[in-house]
Structure 1
Amino acid sequence: MKTSRDPFEDAFAKQFIVVGLGVFITYINGIFVFAFFKHSVFYTDPRYILYIHLVINDLIMLFLTVSLYVLAQTVLILNVTVCSVLLLFATTTSEISPLNLAGMAIERYIAICKPLHHTQLCSVNRTHILIGLIWLLNFIPALTDIFILLVNEPISIFSTSVRCNIKSLYGSDQHLMRSIFVESLYLSCVILTLVFTYIKVLQAAKAATSDQASATKARNTILLHGLQLLLCLLAYVAPFVNYFLLDLYPKYRSMILFSTYLLSNILPRLLSPLIYGLRDQKMFIYSITENVLEKLLDRQRDYLEPRLLQIQQMAGDTDAKLTAIQAKLDVLTTSIETINSKVNAMETVVESNSSAIKCNQKALQAMEGKLADYEDRNRRCNIRIIGLKEGIEGANATQFLMRSLPQWFPSLCGSSIEIMHAHRIYNETASKRGENRTLIFNVLRYTTRQAILRAAKKEPLTLNGRTIRFAPDFSNHTVMRRRAFSLAMSTARAKGVEFFLLYPATLKIKEGAYFRSFMSSNEAEDFLNTIPNSSAAVPS
C-alpha cells in the first residue's frame, strides 16, 4: 500500500498534539510515581507496588509509542536493528498492563477472601517476583518475533531500512499466528481471573457482616480493573475500527488513523492510572493533596518569614529594654510603680493601634466603594453592545450607531441620540480566536442611555440569526458585586419568586406583598432556601 507524508502544517500539528499529550500525561503520572517513592508507607503494600509498576510501565510505553510516531512522521524509514529494539520494548510494555491488572485483582481477592493468609501470600518479595515474571512472560513472545524474522529473512536485513511499524517488519503469517495465540491466551487468562475474583469478592461481600464496606470497596476495585482492561483492549480494537472507517471515508484516512492512534495508545495511558490513583484515598492524599498543601505552606512561609524576622528584631529590642529595666529594679526598688504605669500605657497604645487598624480597614473599604462609585458615574452614559459582527460598523462607529439605532428600535425614532464616541474594546483572546469584540459607545445624556436600554429589553435585536445584547457599563468592582448574586437569582428564577437587582448591588426579593433587600449573596440564598417552589411567573 502506498503511503505519503501529510502536509507540513498537518504533520506539525499532529506531532505537537501527540508530544504535548505525552508531556502532560508524563507529568500527571509522574506525580503518582514521585509520591510513591517519597513516602515509605507505600513500600510494604503490594497493592501500591503493583499500581506504581502499572504507572511506570505506562510511562515507558508512552515514551516509546510517541517516539515511534514522531519517527514515522519525520523519518519515513529506519534501520531494522534500531526499529526491532524499539518494537521489542514497545510490544513488551503494551502486553504488561493486562497481566498487571490481573495481579492486582488477585491481590484484592486474597485480601478480602483470605485475609489471614494475605500477609504471607502477598509479601513484598513475592510481589517483586510477580512483576519479574510478568516482564518475562511478555518479553519472551516479543523476542520471538525477532527470531521468526531471522528464520524468514537473511541476517543482512538488519543493515537495511524499513518503515518502523509492526506490519512492515513483522508482517509474516508466523508473526500473525504468534501474536494471535499469545494475546488470546493472555487476555483469556486475564478475563477469567477478573471474572473469578469478582464473583468471589461479590460472594464475600454478601456474606460479610462486620466489614461490609471493605468488601464492597474491593468489589468496586475489581470492576475498575475491568474498566482498565477495556482501555487496554482499545489497542486491539483499533485495527478493526480503522478498517471499517477507512472503507467508508477513504478521503479522511490520515485523520482517522491519527484519531484512533490517540484513543487507543495515548489516552488510556492517562485514564488507566489516573482513575485508580484518584479513587484511592491514600494515594490521592499523598500525591495531589500533599502537593497542594506544600505549595500553600511555601506561600505562607514566604509571607510569614519577613514578619517573623521583624518580630524577632522587636523581641531583641524588648529584651534589651527589659534588661535595662531589671538593672534599674535591682538598684531602685521604688521604681516598680512607675514601670507598671509605663506597661499600662504601652498596652493602651497597642489597643489604640488595633482600633486604628480596624478603622483604617473600614476607611479603605469605604474608599474602594467611593472609587467604584466614581468610576460608575463616569461610565453612567456608556452602553456595551455584545455579539455585533466585527467590522460591520465600518470606519466610523459613531455614525454607524446614530444611523442604525433608530432602525433597530423604532421606538427611538424622533429621539435625539447624540453619541460622543464609540469603539471596540481590545481583547487579545477574542482577537486570536476570531471572535467579535464588544462595541462600547458613550451618549451625551443619561436619559438617552436609559431609553436605549429599555428599547433593547422590550425589542430584542437579532442580526443575521445572531442575538445582539445591550448592557450597561459598570466598573469591575461593581460587576463582581453584582455577579455574586448570580446563584441567588437563578434560585429565585427556578422557584418563581419575583426579584430585581438594584444599583450598585442590592437584591430585592418579594415576600408576600413586600420586598426584602439583601446586600449579601449568602443571606439572599439562605432566605430563598426557606421559600417553597412556586408556579408564578419569573422575571427574565
Structure 2
Amino acid sequence: MADNISLVVGGPLLRQINDKVIIVQILVMIFLCVNFSLIVTFLKKEILHTTARYILFAVTLFSDSFLLFMSDILLIFNYFEITMYVWSCIIISVLALLYNMLTPVTLTAMTLERYVAICMPLRHGELCSSRSTMRCILIIHAVSSVPSIVILSIFFASASLSSYTQYCICSAELLMFPRWQDHIRATLYQFYFIIMFITIIFCYVKIMKVAKAASGENRMSKWKGLRTVSFHGFQLLLCLIQLWCPFIETALLQISLRLFANVRYTNYILFSLAPRCLSPLIYGLRDETFSLALKNLIFFSLYKKKLRR
C-alpha cells in the first residue's frame, strides 16, 4: 500500500508565491465574504427559518463555504508541499467528498420543493413544513455520504495499518487505491446525476403544464417557479462538470504535466470557486424576500457605522 501512495517523508519545500496563488486567495476571500453575508442574513431573519426553500438554501451556503475553505487549505498545502499524516488526510478527504456531493443533492431537493409548491399547493404546508425539512436535510446528508462511504470502505480494505501513520501530501486522490476505484466513483456519480437530471426534467415538465394552464398573476408566479427550476438545472450541470474534472485531469496527466497543472488550475477557478459563490448569490438576489432581507441588513449595518462616527 505504501508504495502505491505518493508519500513525502521530508519537510515542506519552500516555494515562491506566484500570481496564481494570490488570485485564488483573493477570490476565496471574496466568495467566502459573499456567502457569509448571505448566511448572516438567513440567521437574522426569522421568516427565513420557517420556509423550506430558504432552509435548504442555507444548507448549500454552509456546505459550499466549508468546501471552499477546505479546498483552499488543501491547495496551499499542496503548493508548498506540506505533509500530514495519512489518517488526517483521510478525514479531510472524506469530508471534502461528502460536501462536494451535498450541494447537487440539496439542489435536487429544492427543485422538488418548487414542484410541490406549484403542482401540489394544498399539500405544500404539510410536506414542506420546518419539521419535514429537517428530516429532509438528514436524508440529504445520508444520500450524499454514500459515495464517500463506499470509497472509504474500499480504501480500508486495501490499505495496511502501517500506512496510516506515514506522511503524505494530502489529496482526495489518495483514497483512489486501487486505481479501479476511479471507475466505481465514476459509476456512482453517473448514477446520482442521472437520477438528479431525471428529477429536474420531471419537475420542469410538470411545472410547465401547470404554468400554461394558469392565468393572470398566478401564471406569472408559476413561470417564475419554472425559471427557478431551470436555474437549479444549470447549477447541477456546473456541479456535474466539477465532479468530472478529476477524471479529465488524470487523463491529461498522462500527456503533459504542464497541461495538467494549467487545466487543473482553470477547472478549480471556473467549476469549483465561481459556481459555489455566484450561484447562491444570484439565487439570493432573485428571491424578493431574501433580497430585501439582505438589503436591510447591509443598510442597517452602514447606518450603525454612521451613528458610531
State if a TM-score over 0.5 links the two structures: yes
Instruction: Determine the C-alpha separation between the residues in 2 that align with 1:253 and 1:46.
Output: 41
| CA displacement at 1:6 relative to structure 2 | 9.8
1:268 and 2:269 aligned: no
In structure 2, what is the equivalent of residue 461 of structure 1?
Answer: none
| CA displacement at 1:186 relative to structure 2 | 1.4
Q: Which amino acid aligns with 1:18?
A: V
In structure 2, what is the equivalent of residue 213 of structure 1?
Answer: 220
Q: Which amino acid aligns with 2:291?
A: F
Instruction: Determine the C-alpha separation between the residues in 1 that align with 2:219 and 2:282.
Output: 23
| CA displacement at 1:22 relative to structure 2 | 1.6
In structure 2, what is the equivalent of residue 376 of structure 1?
Answer: none
1:278 and 2:278 aligned: no
In structure 2, what is the equivalent of residue 341 of structure 1?
Answer: none
Q: Contact 1:109–1:201 at 8 Å: present in 2 too? A: yes
Q: 1:92 to 1:49 in 2, by over 3 A?
A: same
Show CA shifts across 1:152-205 (max 9, x none). Answer: 122221111233223333231452243123212211111011000000000000
| CA displacement at 1:299 relative to structure 2 | 6.0
1:234 and 2:241 aligned: yes
Instruction: Determine the C-alpha separation between the residues in 2 that align with 1:143 and 1:245.
Output: 28
In structure 2, what is the equivalent of residue 404 of structure 1?
Answer: none
Q: Contact 1:234–1:263 at 8 Å: present in 2 too? A: no
Q: Contact 2:7–2:167 at 8 Å: present in 1 too? A: no
Q: Contact 1:112–1:218 at 8 Å: present in 2 too? A: yes
Instruction: Determine the C-alpha separation between the residues in 2 that align with 1:131 and 1:178.
Output: 26
In structure 1, what is the equivalent of residue 69 of structure 2?
Answer: 63
Q: Contact 2:31–2:277 at 8 Å: present in 1 too? A: yes
Instruction: Determine the C-alpha separation between the residues in 1 that align with 2:303 and 2:28.
Output: 30
| CA displacement at 1:253 relative to structure 2 | 4.2
Aligned-residue RMSD, C-alpha: 2.6
Q: 1:184 to 1:255 in 2, by over 3 A?
A: closer
Q: Contact 2:78–2:169 at 8 Å: present in 1 too? A: yes
Q: Which amino acid aligns with 2:279?
A: S
In structure 2, what is the equivalent of residue 521 of structure 1?
Answer: none
In structure 1, what is the equivalent of residue 54 of structure 2?
Answer: 48
Q: Contact 2:39–2:58 at 8 Å: present in 1 too? A: yes
In structure 2, what is the equivalent of residue 170 of structure 1?
Answer: 176
In structure 1, what is the equivalent of residue 45 of structure 2?
Answer: 39
Which one has a bigger Cα radius of gyration? Answer: 1
1:297 and 2:303 aligned: yes
Q: 1:112 to 1:259 in 2, by over 3 A?
A: same
Q: Which amino acid aligns with 2:59?
A: H
Q: 1:298 to 1:168 in 2, by over 3 A?
A: closer
Bigger helix share: 2
| CA displacement at 1:212 relative to structure 2 | 0.4
Q: Contact 1:72–1:163 at 8 Å: present in 2 too? A: yes
Q: Contact 1:235–1:264 at 8 Å: present in 2 too? A: yes
1:87 and 2:90 aligned: no
Other structure's SS at 1:145 match? helix
Q: Contact 2:64–2:99 at 8 Å: present in 1 too? A: yes
In structure 2, what is the equivalent of residue 483 of structure 1?
Answer: none
1:204 and 2:203 aligned: no
In structure 2, what is the equivalent of residue 344 of structure 1?
Answer: none
In structure 1, what is the equivalent of residue 138 of structure 2?
Answer: 132
Q: Contact 1:6–1:254 at 8 Å: present in 2 too? A: no
Task: Please give the residue correspondences for 1:113-132 in structure 2 after superposition, counting only pairs within 5 Å.
Answer: 113-132=119-138
Instruction: Determine the C-alpha separation between the residues in 2 that align with 1:25 and 1:273.
Output: 10
Q: 1:80 to 1:249 in 2, by over 3 A?
A: closer
Instruction: Determine the C-alpha separation between the residues in 1 that align with 2:81 and 2:144.
Output: 28
* Structure 1: stretches of 5+ with no match in the other structure: 304-540
Q: Contact 1:65–1:265 at 8 Å: present in 2 too? A: no
Instruction: Determine the C-alpha separation between the residues in 2 that align with 1:224 and 1:158.
Output: 43
In structure 2, what is the equivalent of residue 8 of structure 1?
Answer: 15
Bigger strand share: 1
Instruction: Determine the C-alpha separation between the residues in 1 that align with 2:247 and 2:161.
Output: 33
Show CA shifts across 1:271-300 (max 9, x none). Answer: 22112111111111111x213422453366
| CA displacement at 1:36 relative to structure 2 | 0.6
Other structure's SS at 1:290 match? helix
| CA displacement at 1:217 relative to structure 2 | 0.3
Q: 1:247 to 1:86 in 2, by over 3 A?
A: closer
Q: Which amino acid aligns with 1:281?
A: E
Q: Please, what TM-score do these two structures have when normalized by structure 2?
A: 0.88
Show CA shifts across 1:318-339 (max 9, x none). Answer: xxxxxxxxxxxxxxxxxxxxxx
In structure 2, what is the equivalent of residue 444 of structure 1?
Answer: none
Q: Contact 2:86–2:164 at 8 Å: present in 1 too? A: yes
| CA displacement at 1:213 relative to structure 2 | 0.8
1:18 and 2:28 aligned: no
Q: 1:179 to 1:253 in 2, by over 3 A?
A: closer
1:110 and 2:116 aligned: yes
Q: Please, what TM-score do these two structures have when normalized by structure 1?
A: 0.52
Q: Which amino acid aligns with 2:269?
A: L
Q: 1:6 to 1:160 in 2, by over 3 A?
A: closer
Q: 1:18 to 1:166 in 2, by over 3 A?
A: same
Q: Contact 1:246–1:256 at 8 Å: present in 2 too? A: no
Instruction: Determine the C-alpha separation between the residues in 2 that align with 1:32 and 1:174.
Output: 41
| CA displacement at 1:239 relative to structure 2 | 3.7
* Structure 2: stretches of 5+ with no match in the other structure: none
Instruction: Determine the C-alpha separation between the residues in 2 that align with 1:43 and 1:246.
Output: 46
Which is further off, 187-196 or 169-178? 169-178
Q: Contact 1:162–1:169 at 8 Å: present in 2 too? A: no
Q: Which amino acid aligns with 2:68?
A: L
Q: Which amino acid aligns with 2:173?
A: K
Show CA shifts across 1:443-499 (max 9, x none). Answer: xxxxxxxxxxxxxxxxxxxxxxxxxxxxxxxxxxxxxxxxxxxxxxxxxxxxxxxxx
Q: Percent identity?
A: 27
Q: Contact 2:151–2:175 at 8 Å: present in 1 too? A: no
